[in-house]
Amino acid sequence: MPSSRFARRPLMLALALSTAGLAPLATPAFVAPAAAAEDAAKVATISVSAEGTASAVPDMAVINLTVLREADTAREALDANTAAMNEVLGALKEDGIEDRDIQTSNFSIQPRWVYPKSDDGSQTPTISGYQVTNGLTVRIRNLERVGDILDASVTLGVNQGGQIAFTNDKPDETISAARKNAVTNARKKAEEMAEAAGVKLGRITSMSEQSYANPPMPMARMDMMKVQAESAPVPVAAGENQYSVSVQMTFELEQ
């Protein structure tokens, strides 16, 4: 009778053969993330940037008015400045300028230094007096009144400033129009480039607004101290404000 050791050999061989027959006929495909990213990167794209503009007639002016007074003492200079500024403020309010449109923009008290030479040639600075400046930033919503307000302010004691900036109180609609123009210009540029390359534009993959610029405000400055009270109202031209928006767009290309 054969030993049990040899008797188990056929059974073990049969199990090995049957197990080998259970191997799967096909292995599921697996794509590594790096390979998928590489395939996606092969999609051709085109990126363009363009600017759009839109203009609007200003509906508000911002002016700077400053009263400067000098005196031997700081107290005297301050009192003189305060009296003049109160007259200017009163006139502005009588002209219909609301409190929300008047803001103090700067205020300072400065000594006036002189440097006399002594007999030995040295210079010892001394204070010969004081000057007080008080400034206002004023928004004027009726542009027809700008010249008259400037003229009246000088008459009442304003002797510095005079900068004028013309702007729009609510420029949102104009900026929106500029944005739409920017997108239209960007697409047109992309279409021209694609046509020149013999391909077609596909879907938009990204779109962003780079920036929008505040309008270049026409500025006017005059030397208030040279304006005479008897002069005619100051001539003012508001012009137009131009708003600009820049966008960047990326398209897929169909080849």
Residue, of 229 and 197, whose pLDDT is higher: 197
Residue 174 located in a structural domain: no
Predicted pLDDT of residue 213: 55
13 inside domain:
no
Q: Which has more confidence, 127 or 210?
A: 127
Residues in the chain: 255
pLDDT of residue 162: 78
Band of pLDDT at residue 84, cut at 50, 70 and 90: very high
Boundaries of domain holding 161? 58-114+127-169+215-224
Here the CATH number for the domain that contains residue 70 is 3.30.70.2970
Residue 11 forms part of a structural domain? no
What pLDDT band is residue 93 in, cutting at 50, 70 and 90?
A: very high
Residue 31 has pLDDT above 70, yes or no: no
How many distinct structural domains can be found in the chain? 1
Confidence of residue 218 (pLDDT cuts 50, 70, 90): very low
Is residue 64 in a domain?
Answer: yes
Q: What is the pLDDT of residue 234?
A: 73
The per-residue pLDDT for 34 is 60
Predicted pLDDT of residue 117? 78
**Is 145 within the bounds of a domain?**
yes
Residue 227 confidence (pLDDT) above 90: no
Average pLDDT, the chain: 81
The proportion of the chain whose per-residue pLDDT surpasses 70, expressed as a percent, equals: 75
**94 occurs within a structural domain:** yes
- 14 pLDDT above the threshold of 70: no
Residue with more model confidence, 200 or 30: 200
pLDDT tier at 26 (50, 70, 90 boundaries)?
A: very low
pTM: 0.66
- pLDDT of 233 reads 64
d(CA 157, CA 81): 9
DSSP per position, the chain: ---HHHHTHHHHHHHHHHHHTTS-S-PPP---HHHHHHHHHTS-EEEEEEEEEEEE---EEEEEEEEEEEESSHHHHHHHHHHHHHHHHHHHHHTT--GGGEEEEEEEEEEEEE--B-TTS-B--EEEEEEEEEEEEEEES-GGGHHHHHHHHHHHT--EEEEEEEE-S--HHHHHHHHHHHHHHHHHHHHHHHHHHT-EEEEEEEEEEEEEEPP---EE---GGG--TTSPPPP-----EEEEEEEEEEEEEE-
pLDDT in tens, 98-153: 999 999 988 999 999 988 877 777 777 889 999 999 999 999 999 999 989 998 89
Domain contains 149:
yes
- The answer to whether position 70 is within a domain reads yes
